[in-house]
Structure 1
């Protein structure tokens, strides 16, 4: 045990009081004031200052003893900041010049923790003008007394909160350094409560510090960049009928009535809808009247042609008129029979609300509804142009229905439209048709999101594909 270090009960009480004041500080300014002004009761000094370290900036003086607030433009503050930066860069060399350490014997005699390394750069150490560059040492006598003490503030995680410097005429003893080391731990812990959260940039710089950790991080990053991943995109999709029977309007007219309901199963011969027959009924009645008239004229001409050669010649004209009226009558009757449309096959009626069709004018060949087989369905996805990843037939995709968040259905792509078309939502997209694989089949009309699986690409390409495409559109390269 060394006889050079003596910590009495009064000093321990002051140490405990200063530690309590540091923990109770409500702000960083209050804590800085306590550090540079109230520590004099434990470690006598004439001047003190707290230098705030910064990961991005050179650092600045945060507080000076005897002043409520320091002026960064003052010559003394600028000189003091340069001194602290020089000491921070060469802490290890200055610690060797100090000639003091915290040996295990001294720590045991005071109850303080032992220093594992006598020349550890994070320990307080005394310094003088000889330890500074010549341009800073030349102004030492103008600002400071002969002796000074450098106290680094570093927490257990290795984060630096700057340092505290003390200056006085008498040299600093080993007991002063031991007490300052204990206070430095308390101050660093208290300052960590006011320190901002580490940003991603700060964490990245800490991770990429020279050493084994940086080599490991760079190796993991390199592997992650070249790691192959499947190129996938998301696209809205719906379950549609495969090979449905299209029910079209047989005539130009107005829909009078829809006999079936959406998603209603129908059998062959079931009435589906009917067109307004008023116009066709009038045309049929007129054609029937013309046919009766032509038939009577032909009958009279045929009777007169027996005795009169002139009437014999008119009989051929009357016969032609009778045949023309018969053709018109048959055509009108056929059209009148088609105003009521029946189901040609069994299936489920797929169309919108019947009220949307009642009273609506339609043209011949216009699609009214579909007759679909519920067991024969396929998946139709709409791949936006911006998300196109060169999808080809044979690729796979997965449907995630909106109505069943825990269900998923796999499908194989059959066709991809060669050109993009506007979707009902107004998005320009490619139409992708796919057949479900496996035994499970979703219900007809189910909508959801499909994940289309493309080729395998490096992770870097997967992450930068969209930014690069946007950059090419803007830059034109």
Structure 2
């Protein structure tokens, strides 16, 4: 082939590619591909196959309108579909020479009725494929030239490629094939992969076996003598109740006791000389004992107004100003005496996300103040009844003891991850949606 012929072929190639880029519709571009390509490549028949949700033949050489029910169209569609399912239309694959023997028997029997002996199949990128057929075999040079032309046509078809919606993507993924079977097996294996069921809950570090310091009498707190989280020793003063009323009662009882004692002394002297005075002395003795008991009881109550620490530890309460001058009733909790070396974890498991937990289960605390630290604990108690917590939610209270040597600081707050049984990953992912659907549907 001379230099002039190569120049004409190059000019024809550039002209066809220019025409393809200037096409205003997919139909016009299909006409160019199957008809005007004869200016560069000699062939007798040509067809274009488009990929998508509905895969079909979109252009045939020599025909302006296509009839999908025609036998030739139906046979050609089966050929293209067979080549696509066989993996011959993947992006980037080179052209392929086809003959009747390369097809299944059912398709090969009708080859001579519809196509010449030699065909050339060329991919158009991801948009489809192009089939050329003629009586003479294809040379390597013609094959390379056709591949370059097909590459340009495929790029031009991208302009008219429909945007894929979820239906097309679903159809592509659900289309039977080796890749889909592998993905299905991988999805089934992933869905059956065991994973530890867990739920997040609010957690707090609480004292273990704390001593509750309650108001010994009903009254008003006069003074708090310690600060929150202060260490105290046994006998240290903690808080005092207002003694104004009780001090007056004690003074009155003491005076009544003194008056009864004077009356008893006078009766005792009179009883020495008068027999009738003995009866009065007995009455005065009883009254003296009554007043003495009342004065002694009031004195003991006055002493109880000063609350001291029964043992060493740390006093836990909110703030001095919250209690200063506050009226309390007998037995009302004022503060807690705790040992900071003996702490445990309290967690509130939301009732809406409750899982099967039992003593001995695992729970991990992630403190808010220490994002890089975590503490493992073992559940020792599980409340059988949910109670209202902050926000009006219902939650089950869990108590757990820390298993490691290092323990968090008393009063520290954080997020607790409560672990349950091992379940498949599909159950872990669909547990909450299924629960919501069951509550909504009522089954």
TM-score, normalised to structure 1's length? 0.70
Which of the residues 384, 398, 416 maps onto 1:432?
398
Aligned to 1:398, the other structure's residue is in SS state strand
Q: Deviations over 1:100-146 (max 9, x none)?
A: xxxxxxxxxxxxx973333699xxxxxxxx969xxxxxxxxxxxxxx
Give the whole-Å Cα distance in 1 for the aligned partners of 2:422 and 2:212: 40
- Cα pair distance change 1:36/1:201, threshold 3 Å: closer
Residue in structure 1 matched with residue 328 of structure 2 by the alignment: 362
Q: Secondary structure at the match of 1:305?
A: helix
Q: Distance in 2 between matches of 1:371 and 1:332?
A: 27
For residues 141-200 of structure 1, what are the alpha-carbon distances to aligned partners after superposition, in whole Å with 9 as ceiling and x for unaligned?
xxxxxxxxx998742xxx3x36799xxxxxxxx999987754442343355588688677
Question: How far is the alpha carbon of 1:22 from its aligned partner?
Answer: 7.2
Candidates 451, 457, 460, aligned match of 2:423: 457
2:43 paired residue number: none
Matches within 5 A, 1:43-62: 53-55=51-53
Q: Measure, in 2, the Cα distance between the counterparts of 1:330 and 1:377.
A: 41
Q: Is the 8 A contact 1:87 1:94 kept in 2?
A: no
State which drifts further: 178-187 or 289-298.
178-187
* 1:92 alignment counterpart: 80
Q: Which residue of 2 aligns with 1:273?
A: 239
Task: Judge conservation of contact 1:11–1:42 (CA < 8 Å) in 2.
Answer: no
Calculate the aligned-residue CA RMSD, in Å: 4.5
Partner in structure 1 of residue 97 of structure 2: 117
- Whether the aligned pair in 1 keeps the contact of 2:95 and 2:121 (CA below 8 Å) is no
Change (3 A) 1:446 1:302: same
1:404 to 362, 370, 374: 370
Cα distance, 1:219 vs. partner? Answer: 2.6
The aligned residue for residue 155 of structure 2 is 189
Equivalences for residues 1-400 of structure 1 within 5 A: 8-13=6-11, 15-16=13-14, 19=17, 35=29, 53-55=51-53, 89-92=77-80, 115-118=95-98, 154-155=124-125, 159=126, 161=127, 182-189=148-155, 192=158, 205-400=171-366
Q: Kindly indicate whether the alpha-carbon contact (under 8 Å) linking 1:416 and 1:432 is maintained by their aligned counterparts in 2.
A: yes
Distance 2:19 2:291 in 1: 117
Alignment correspondent of 2:42: none
Match status 1:415 vs 2:381: yes
- For the 8 Å contact 2:96–2:121, the answer to whether it is kept is no
CA contact (8 A) 1:59 1:85 kept: no
1:428–1:82 Cα change, 3 Å: farther
What SS does the aligned partner of 1:117 have?
strand
- Match of 2:357, SS state, is coil
Paired residue secondary structure (1:425): helix
Distance in 1 (CA, whole Å) between partners of 2:231 and 2:56 is 79
Q: Could you say if the C-alpha distance between residues 205 and 439 of structure 1 is closer, same or farther in structure 2, counting changes exceeding 3 Å?
A: farther
Judged with a 3 Å threshold, the aligned counterparts in structure 2 of structure 1 residues 20 and 365 are, in CA distance, closer, same or farther, namely farther
Rate the CA distance shift 1:86–1:444 in 2: closer, same or farther, 3 A: farther
Give the match's secondary structure for 2:396: strand
Unaligned runs of 5+ in 2: 40-46, 84-92, 104-112, 132-137
* SS of residue in 1 equivalent to 2:253: helix
CA distance in 2, matches of 1:391, 1:52: 57
After alignment, is 273-282 or 399-408 more displaced? 399-408
Residues 95 and 123, structure 2, Cα contact 8 Å, conserved in 1: no
Which one is further off, 249-258 or 298-307?
Answer: 298-307
Contact conserved, 2:94 with 2:147, CA < 8 A, in 1? no
CA-to-aligned-CA distance 1:48-83 (integer Å, 9 cap, x gap): x9997532x67899x9xxxxxxxxxxxx99x67889
Q: Does 1:442 align with 2:422?
A: no
Unaligned stretches of 5+ residues in structure 1: 64-75, 96-112, 122-129, 133-149, 166-173
- Residues of 2 paired with 1:152 and 1:324: CA distance? 120
Count matched residues.
408
Contact 1:254 1:275 in 2 (8 A): yes
Change (3 A) 1:38 1:431: same
Alpha-carbon contact 1:348-1:372 (below 8 Å) kept: yes
CA contact (8 A) 2:25 2:160 kept: no
Distance 1:196 1:262, change over 3 A: farther
**Structure 2 Cα separation of the partners of residues 278 and 15 of structure 1:** 112
